[in-house]
Amino acid sequence: GAGVSQTPSNKVTEKGKYVELRCDPISGHTALYWYRQSLGQGPEFLIYFQGTGAADDSGLPNDRFFAVRPEGSVSTLKIQRTERGDSAVYLCASSLLAGDNSPLHFGNGTRLTVT
Amino acid sequence: EDQVTQSPEALRLQEGESSSLNCSYTVSGLRGLFWYRQDPGKGPEFLFTLYSAGEEKEKERLKATLTKKESFLHITAPKPEDSATYLCAVQGSGSARQLTFGSGTQLTVLP
């Protein structure tokens, strides 16, 4: 079946610009997560949605980062006034149930490069 | 704060040469320990979940074990296609649905 889909796969932007990264989770998965992975590091948690609401956004580094999931399916991660330090791979994951420890299924990520 | 340390950072094996990867962790109330495999340019691919000390899970040439302080991923008679980065992550009782990942072990299996 179809996995988690992320678009675009690559995004190059200039410092100070606004970007949107999209995630299509596995159909029927109620929980959706965003992680960020820098080179040579493991993924770092950003935000978790249960349905349409952000259940935990404690990993967002600052108020330039915002994410939405208006209909409980597709999610968009929005980054304002991008900085070179935002360059990383942004991973989206989904899981069947929220509130338990069912495994996360990851997409292949969006590689963001801020020049 | 949950912490995960993986060792070694990199490991090169000859095909058929068995070895183990280590994941040491500190967590407040372990809800689950997860192993993932990540190929270059791809997202992490789920392998195993372990819930309590003494538990073991197997899949093909891989076996994961868990103690109260660490987990091991044993690779028996590896093949070149087992080459990847292996990530360990923990979910603690105080962190809702957050996973805390280690930095991974980059495994290379030479033919």
Q: What is the pLDDT of residues A64-114, one digit of tens each?
A: 999 999 998 999 999 999 999 999 999 999 998 765 668 899 999 999 999
pLDDT at A97: 75
- Report residue B93's pLDDT band, with 50, 70 and 90 as the boundaries: confident
Q: What is the reported pLDDT for B96?
A: 66
Average pLDDT (B71-80) is: 98
Residue A93 forms contact with B (CB below 8 Å):
yes
Strand partners, A113: A12
Residue B95 has a pLDDT of 66
Which residue among A55, A98, A101 places its CB closest to the CB of B49? A101
SS3 state at B54: coil
Confidence (pLDDT) at B1: 86
Answer for the pair B13, B19: CB distance below 8 angstroms, yes or no: yes
- Look at residues A20, A77, A87, A27 and name the one whose alpha carbon lies nearest to residue A49: A77
For chain B, say whether A91 makes contact (Cβ under 8 Å).
yes
Any chain B CB within 8 A of the CB of A22? no
Contact criterion met (CB below 8 Å) for B90 and B27: yes
Of A12-16, B39-43, B86-90, B93-97, where does mean pLDDT reach its minimum? Answer: B93-97
* Residues of chain B neighbouring A88 (CB-CB closer than 8 A): none
Q: What are the counts of helices (DSSP H) followed by strands (DSSP E) for chain B?
A: 0, 11
Does the pLDDT of residue A55 top 90, yes or no?
A: no
The reported pLDDT for the residue numbered A1 is 55
Hey, are the CB atoms on B97 and A99 less than 8 Å from each other? Answer: yes
d(CA B57, CA B47): 9
CB contact under 8 A, A45 and B99: yes
